[in-house]
Amino acid sequence: MSRGHRGERGACALIGGIALVAMLALGAGTAWGLTTRTASTTVGPSPDASSTAAKCPRGKKVISGGFNNPGFADLTSGSPGLFAYASHKSLGRRWTVAAQNDNNGAGTEKAFVYCGNADSLSTRWVSATVPNMATRHRTLTARCPRGSQAISGGFDNPGFTEDGGAGFFPFVSKQYRLRGWRVSVELFRPAPATLKVFAYCRASGGVQTRSASATVATTGSQTASATASCKPGERLISGGYSTTSEQFPGGSIGPDLWYYGSHKSGRRGWKVSAFHNGGAVEDGRFKALAYCEDT
């Protein structure tokens, strides 16, 4: 072979190598890549409540969202106790989070929106009343159309007001049987409340569930966190959580978990944080849930 041909081959190899690096870089950007945007709001001492919305950049679509109360420790004096009563997709590429403060220290509520290049997700929702009777719990499931899958979801308490309007704390928010998003709530005000549950649907399937568990003791700090992680080669889409020990078994006071954080953590993780409201005879157990797909 002539020296000129060898030079051409070397140049082609170099160009091919550059192209491969570019493809790998692009792949890494899309594989791990939900774009994250955040927004924060200050919530004053109890019973103050506030909402905020994080917005995706132009050209990106809302895939999922989450919330967090940074710095929460417990319900001791001066510590903010912000618990979300709304976390859902809203108009204009936004994810809205609303929280009420259950303690006497002001705090910060943080909303997260996770954005991607996927086609727009369709929305299904269902609404019902949480009655002021018996255990004051309600479970609802919003379901996607046949042939599609719920890849994320959310909840809302429309009509909530801090000066006495009914409110609840969701102790379950998770995918249910592929097409559904299920939310269970505990009413904490002596009045009926409206629960609205959302499922965000995509035509293609293939979403896998990864989980991690934690126990929240009835004594001590009464808080715990768990992070569920997608496997290497999987992309995180969304996340959720579920109280795994029975809530108020038999009508008596059981583990009473309030969730103050549910959001993406790192490239492949979904972190969930819960507080045990005490007055219970058993520790509380919960699962952090990460919903993942192959890259």
pLDDT in tens, 214-235: 998 877 668 899 999 999 999 9
pLDDT at 282 over 50: yes
Question: pLDDT confidence of 14, banded at 50, 70, 90?
Answer: very low
pLDDT at 27 over 80: no
Exposure on the CB side of residue 125, measured as CA atoms within 13 A: 16
pLDDT at 130 over 70: yes
For 85-113, how does the pLDDT look when each residue is reduced to its tens digit (9 = 90+)?
A: 999 999 989 999 999 888 888 889 999 99
Residue 206: its pLDDT value, please? 83
Residue 160: its pLDDT value, please? 83
| Backbone φ and ψ of 77, nearest 5° | -55, 130
For 41-57, how does the pLDDT look when each residue is reduced to its tens digit (9 = 90+)?
A: 999 888 888 999 999 99
For 53-82, how does the pLDDT look when each residue is reduced to its tens digit (9 = 90+)?
A: 999 999 999 999 999 998 787 777 677 888
Residue 77: its pLDDT value, please? 66
How much is the mean pLDDT over the chain? 82
Residue 159: its pLDDT value, please? 80
Higher pLDDT, 6 or 40: 40
pLDDT at 288 over 60: yes
Where would I find the beta strands (DSSP E) of the chain? Answer: 35-43, 49-55, 61-68, 82-90, 94-101, 107-116, 122-130, 137-143, 149-156, 168-176, 180-187, 193-202, 208-216, 223-229, 234-243, 257-265, 269-276, 284-294
Tokens of 234: 């999987």
pLDDT at 25 over 70: no
Tokens of 73: 């420790």
Residue 166: its pLDDT value, please? 60
pLDDT at 125 over 90: yes
Cα angle 149, 115, 145; round to 5:
20
Q: Give the pTM.
A: 0.84
